[in-house]
Amino acid sequence: MKTNVRVAVIGGGVVGASVLYHLTKLGWKDVLLLERAELTSGSTWHAAGGMHTVNGDPNVARLQQYTIKLYEEIERISGQSCGMHVTGGLLLAGSRERMDWLKMTQARGRYLGMELELLTAQEISKIYPLMDPKHFLGGILDPIEGHIDPSGVTLAYAKSAQLAGAEIVRQTRVTDMQQRSDGSWDLSTTQGKVHAEQVVNAGGLWARELGRMVGLELPVLAMEHQYLITEDLPEFRGQPELLHAIDFEGEIYLRQERGGVLLGTYERAAVPWSPKVTPWDFGQDLLPNDLERIAPSLEVAFQHFPRLGEVGVRRVVNGPFTFAPDGNPLIGPIAGLRNYWVACGVMAGFSQGGGVGLSLANWMVEGDPGADIWAMDVARYGDWATRSYTNAKVRENYSRRFRIRFPNEELEAARPLRTSPIYDRLQAENAVFGEYCGLEHALWFAPKGSEPREEVTFHRSNAHTHVAAECRAVRESVGLIETTNYGKFEVTGKDAVSWLSRVMANKVPAVGRLALAPMLNDRGRLIGDFTLCRVAEERILVVGTYAAEGYYLRWFAASEPGNEVSIRPCAMEYAGISIAGPNSRALLQQLVDEDLSNEAFPFMSFRSMDVGLIPALVGRVSFTGDLGYEIWVTSDYQRELYDLLMTTGRAFDLRLFGGRALNAMRLEKSFGTWAREFRPIYGPYEAGLGRFIDLNKGEFIGRTAAAAEKQRGGERKLIALSVQAGDADAIGDEPIYHDNSVVGWVTSGGYGHSVGQSLALGYVGIKHADNTNFAVEIIGERRPAVRLTQPPFDPAGARMRS
């Protein structure tokens, strides 16, 4: 065994093997994989081996496509069979909602290059005789689904990596890790010491334990999962292999296994395995069967696929595998822990393992994952994702694996966890809450006396008319929204301004001013968008997306700010309240001594001032696009601030509004938002943020690439559309058509109540950006859409500026 390597990958499951292979593919040969037992000894060996391209997140779907296409490559290089059975796969719908979901999935597939065919139940029964069509409305056929041999795939990755120079050492457990002052790692193993410049935690079932060795509690939990294999069905003999199938209503998946059927289920009575510590002596073991637990699913299976009730069960497998709270992998570097990478929580190793390996290897070798992997980035979880939170969320996620997650649906597990000081005030006003980073925030307000609950649907919900009233209140007089759920960083010190100038693409504003500032990576792609609030010469409050706090902190640290600047995350220290609407100035003026006139406190001003008795930071800006103010106070003052504004606001018919109304109003102004319009796959000029990129202010990260984008023009452009929708608006990820061809995708959509139009924002190929007529496919119907040449509400921006 080598004792000094560039990278030590810990874990020889499908994920570790894929990372190893991709590192060698990118030219890093001095790499070592350490495996506690034999390759595949965690959850990999007993997997059912199913592979799918469909995923709710288009970026993850792309990586799943990549994974499946990779198998031919590693078979060719290694000579090791992956046991590929590309049977094609069916997603079966037994309800109207599921049929709608399938239509939306099919539509998304159009710009992902997927050929998904929508079929009726009768059509399906001809190619899938096992099912009784009376239980189904239809389904989707995906020609590149199927199953593989889990061990074959893992060995093919491993052999391909070995042929390129990697070393694999089996029967060697890593027992401890210590970091040297130069950031490299000393690993203790059962076979002696290894020194590695970098380590990758691909420990699968033991990823938590490998995290704990360096003081990290990773939000992963293993769940028990059962599948059974039936006796042979004689009618399969001499026939082409059965298609893979998922029956969502039955919450089961099926495929052929030799002459029988393999049937697995994500049962609602989900059971975690080893919730606190994974035993090191767990080998290629299985867990005791518990068919009782999956009996409800089996009953449905026997109705939907009657032949299965007539054959015996040959074998039952119950094995554990790991999940993160949202079911997506956890990959990437850890902020504050140099040279330590994770690739764990991969619940669909045979659909996602290749994409995970590629992204992580890209990140390690090139400094960037090379794709938009936000949905899988380990940085999306903060300290709030405790072990108990993870336990509750993973159980919820597992038991809902085959259930629809509606776009307006808020899940209930682990709530409420975090609340702001005015939570009970908002609750008393009948707020319907959503959860974001574990924090409760108001989505909209139900009428007093009614149950504060939103019906989940793909169409307009019972919130629609109430959100309309909230928007009207803002546009006609004044509304109040809580804004605590933003990320905030206090940047102070002698080098605060010079450091911000280097990491942000816009100029740091003068004292007393605000500036919108995109953040770019070296490739000139958007990795953040912030409001910079200059409180004093050496003190700037940086406000951005809370969910990306860990992601930003990691980037800030990598930019080497030096000793003369302090970057302090303070999201929950500063609570926020924003008021917006034509009467917001008159309302606030009653509470402050400062002159708030447009001359004295114009648009984009920012100042410390007392609001009543309360010391506050006040900025003149509003995401509603109306006259408005964002008020930040330390959390201990928020209740008093709220009470004061509510009482004083009575004279102006002040009304509370929530996140749904805010979203509608920012769409009326064609304002983009992080994670929807602004993501690392887009450049700032493509995203319409060019006016916030100051190429003349001196050097900053991403400047060269941004200048090139400006000169060359981007590949695509963000456009705004007015859509002739029915009773469902675009929500995001729908295809955009021009002349019957798919030319782009929607990033967000909704109803603009103040303008009486269904609106959407989305990207189209640059050559289509000046066209007028488009269509957006909403739940299977192509809806005509017209490109808006200016924001539908207050196009000149007079209201926010006057």
Q: Which residues of the chain form contacts with ligand FAD (CB under 6 A)?
A: 10-16, 34-37, 41-44, 46-50, 173-174, 202-206, 210, 225, 227, 317, 319-321, 344, 346-351
Instruction: Give 67 or 722: the residue with its C-beta nearer to ligand FAD.
Output: 67
Would you state the structure tokens that stand for residue 340, as one six-digit string? Answer: 């330590």
Residue indicated by tokens 């259930």:
403
Query: According to DSSP H, which parts of 294-399 are helical?
Result: 295-304, 349-366, 387-399
- Which residue type is seen at 33? L
Nearest distance from C-beta of residue 319 to ligand FAD, angstroms: 3
Cα atoms in the Cβ-side hemisphere of radius 13 Å centred on 678: 24
The least distance separating ligand FAD from the CB of residue 272, rounded to whole angstroms, comes to: 13
Q: Which is nearer to ligand FAD, 319 or 762 (CB)?
A: 319
Query: In the bound complex, what is the minimum distance in angstroms from residue 727's beta carbon to ligand FAD?
Result: 37
Nearer to ligand FAD, 12 or 438 (CB): 12
CB–CB of 608/533 below 8 Å?
no
Q: Report the nearest approach of ligand FAD to the CB of residue 320 (Å).
A: 6
* DSSP secondary structure code for residue 509 in this structure: P
Question: Which residue lies nearer to ligand FAD by CB, 344 or 579?
Answer: 344
Q: What Å distances lie between residue 736 and 115, 717, 756, 760, 778, CA to CA?
A: 17, 12, 21, 10, 10
- State whether residue 772 is helix, strand or coil: coil
Cβ of residue 65: shortest distance to ligand FAD, in angstroms? 14
Tokens of residue 567, six digits: 């970057």
**Nearer Cβ to ligand FAD (350/774):** 350
* For ligand FAD, the closer CB: 27 or 279: 279
- Tell me the CB-side half-sphere exposure of residue 123, using CA atoms within 13 A: 11
Residue 150 CA to residue 342 CA, distance in Å, equals: 21
Supply 90's token pair.
Answer: 């069916």
**Residue type at 409?**
E
State the maximum Cα–Cα separation within the chain, in Å, rounded to a whole number.
87
Which residue's CB is nearer to ligand FAD, number 16 or number 683?
Answer: 16
When the beta carbons of 349 and 791 are compared against ligand FAD, the nearer one is 349
Under 8 Å CB-to-CB from 268, ≥6 apart: which residues? 251, 296, 399
Give the position of tokens 């599921």.
Answer: 98
Cα separation, 675 vs 652, whole angstroms: 35
Q: What is the DSSP letter of 621?
A: -
Q: How far is the CB of 314 from ligand FAD (least distance, A)?
A: 16
In whole angstroms, give the CA distance from residue 251 to residue 740. 36
619: Cβ contacts below 8 Å, ≥ 6 apart = 514, 531, 533, 604, 605, 606, 629, 630, 631, 632
Cβ 175 to ligand FAD shortest distance, Å? 7
**Least distance in angstroms from the C-beta of 31 to ligand FAD:** 15
Residue 731 gets which letter from DSSP? -
360 versus 577: smaller Cβ distance to ligand FAD: 360
State how far the Cα of 687 lies from the Cα of 343, in Å rounded to an integer.
31
CB of 315 vs ligand FAD, minimal distance in Å? 12
Q: How far is the CB of 148 from ligand FAD (least distance, A)?
A: 9
Beta carbon nearer to ligand FAD, 344 or 575? 344
